[in-house]
Structures are given as C-alpha cells and as structure tokens.
Amino acid sequence: MKAKVLVCAVLAAMASSGLMACEAPEVKTFEVVRDTAAVQEETAPRDGEEEVLQAKTQAQNKVKADRRILQQVTEAVLEQFEGRGEAVLMDARTGALLAQVGGEEPHGVGSTFKPISTLAALASPELGLKPDAQMNCKGYTKFGGRHFHCWKRDGHGEVGLDDALAQSCNSVSFELASHAHYDDIVTFARRFGLGEAPGPGLAPGGKLLSQKDIPKFVEGYKLLLSVGQHPFEQNLLQMARAYGVLARGHLVQVHRPGDDWDKPTPVELDPEALAMVRKGLVDAVAGPKGTAHWAASKRVSVAGKTGTVWTGQNYRKPSADNDQIYDDAWFAGYAPADEPEVVVVVRVKGGVSGGKTAAPVARELLEAWHEVR
C-alpha cells in the first residue's frame, strides 16, 4: 500500500534579474511517494508481550519512515538553491533531528536573534522595561557618533515590542541594546544554549565571545549583536535549539537518531516577556505587517522570525549585467504556534531576504512535517 504525501515547493525567484526583490516567489508542485509497507498494521490477533513488542516495532518503523520522507523533502526543496540552501527540522519536545541538510557552519544569524536580545533587555533590572512598552522608530538610532539604520528608512513610528519583532524593526533592537552591557546580552543568550555545541557529538558551532575576547572592541558592537550581526555567529543547529527554548521554555540536546541524549532542562524566563515575544513571532508570520508572511500556511500555524544578513559576497555568476551582492536569508521558527512540536531553521546563502527566500522554504518543510506527524 502506498500513501502519497503531496509537497508543494515554493521556488524563490532565483532565476532572472535584479528585479527579483519585487517579485513574488514562483510555485511548483511535486510529489514524494511514501512507502508505508513497513508501517502497515498487523491485523492478526496477538496476546500479551508479543502484541506490545509488535506495536513498538510498528511505531519505530513509522518514525524511521517519516524521517526518511522529511529528509527527502528537505533535500528536494533545497535543490533549487544549488548547494546554497541549508535547513534543519528538530523535534521541539526532545531535540531529535528530523531532517538536516548542512547547517553546521556558523554564520551571522541576523534578526533571528532579535527575540533573544529583546528578552535580554526585558530581563535587565537597569532598563526596567515592561513587555508592553511602546518604542519609537524614526528610521535610525544614533550611538557613539554613528547612525545605525533601520531597514525601513522612514521609520516604523510608534511600535510595541511585539510589533517591533513582527516587523523586524532594527531601531528598537538598537535602542534596547544601547542601554545594555554587551556581556549581559551574551550571558543571557547562553541560557538558550548559544555559544556551545548544540548536542553531544555534534559540531561545536559558533562561540559567544565576551567583550574581553573581542579584538578592538567598541561599544557599538552591542548594537550589532542585538541584530545578530558581527561578531556573533551561530549555526543552524544552535539556532534550532534556541528556538526550542522560545517554543517550549526548555533547552534540549540536539541529537541524531540512535545517539545518546539527556532530557530537556527548563529555562527560567519571565512568562509575560516570553508571551509577548511569542505573539511577535506569530504576528511576524500571520500579522498584516509581518516580515515572515511567506511562511504562513493554511495547514499548520507557524510562528517565526526572518533574518537577512549582509555578507559582502556575490554568490551569482559574474556577468556584465550582474554586479549585485546577495545576502544570507534566514528563517527560524516553530509549529504549531500554540503547542509547538517542531522547530525549523532555514538559511540560504545568497538569497533575496529572509522573508522572500527562506520563509517560503520553511513553510514547505513544515507542511511536509504536518503530513507525516
């Protein structure tokens, strides 16, 4: 018996011109055939232990078959990026990796770090900030004689902290960080497992450097840190683990099937602050001004955050009419939004933006996960 899992893959408009930033992604549909022979139910009556054993084996076979499907889908969806796309799907409850393509090389994570830098600001007694605080974005923040710009040059105006996350306002993150200590943000981020290996036997990932370890440190670095830029780099597995904390309030050990792992440990976070951040992540996907709306799905509720990291790299083939520089596009999030079971992190080197390039990929992967869950 075969069951078909239909997977709709969104192709970001990688094909043609510099106008692609203004175009909606193209959509193509393809199919993954799921061989369920291994997971068919045995109908013959059995007794006692043998029955239990049979049920266990069936359950294990189903998990294996589902993982194979998700891995195939992930590879297929990322094919369009010709080796530049990476993704991780992780069970939010246990840390088990459900699918992985790449994801072990650390990079700047961009605005996917904002939920954590926002929580760090809210945890600071010096700031005395409340989760319902209103902030103002006038398009830039002045700090140390420099202007740090929001991506929206004419400003977001008055926004709540949740709106700032949904719309990925840089000025609010800069403003919060300008009142913080660099090392306090770093120390707070460690609660999310950032800066350490995401699980036993896995690549160490990116470090979290303290101020004293950064050559030629300048205070402006704390503003860059708050939006996940230099000198802060993490890999996809580390970010999956961090989003597991946002999703479920506990720190998992990321692990591959068959590897040893310890149970998740609770992370102490202010419930009101966490609720505000989660609302921001829901609104980023489902809200009217959310930057992650291409991650929205009719099949499963998604919460998450985009990131677009300027790299200075030109990933496209050089030609006379192409001198554009492309960024690293990120999406990190989880589903279902209200009772998260899975975390997804996507990074595409040389994408248009997190919203246009990585978010639609995340949606594809979460819909595939939803089919086999």
Strand partners, 344: 89, 333
Q: Which amino acid is at 295?
A: A
- Could you tell me the smallest distance in angstroms from the CB atom of residue 220 to Zn ion? 18
Among 112, 171, 238, 357, binds Zn ion (CB under 5 A): 171
Q: Quote the least distance from Cβ 179 to Zn ion, whole Å.
A: 17
Q: Is 169 in the site for Zn ion (CB under 5 A)?
A: yes
**Residue 39 contacts Zn ion per CB under 5 A:** no
Smaller CB separation from Zn ion, 238 or 291: 291
Q: Segment near Zn ion (CB under 5 A), from 25-33, 153-161, 210-218, 224-232?
A: 153-161
Cβ nearer to Zn ion, comparing 190 with 289: 289
In the chain, DSSP finds a helix count (H) and a strand count (E) of: 9, 13
Question: Is 222 near Zn ion (CB under 5 A)?
Answer: no
Angle at 344 (CA atoms; ends 340, 347), nearest 5 degrees: 155
The answer to whether residues 13 and 25 touch, using CB atoms and an 8 Å cutoff, is yes
Per-residue CA distances from 51 to 36, 59, 65 (Å): 20, 12, 21
Residues 299, 308 contacting (CB under 8 angstroms) = no
Is residue 87 at the binding interface for Zn ion, with CB under 5 A as the rule?
Answer: no
> For 2-33, b where at least 16 C-beta lie within 10 A, e where not — what string?
eeebebbbbbbbbeeeeebeeeebeeeeeebe
Q: How far apart are CA 168 and CA 151, in angstroms?
A: 8
Residue count at the site for Zn ion (CB under 5 A)?
6
Shortest CB 226 distance to Zn ion, Å = 13
Q: Which helix (H) or strand (E) holds 286?
A: helix 271-286
Q: Does residue 150 touch Zn ion according to CB under 5 A?
A: yes
Site pattern 97..136 for Zn ion (x: CB under 5 A): ----------------------------------------
Instruction: Report, in Å, the least distance between residue 155 CB and Zn ion.
Output: 6
Residue closer to Zn ion, measured from CB, 102 or 139 = 139
Name the site residues for Zn ion (rule: CB under 5 A). 137, 150, 152, 156, 169, 171
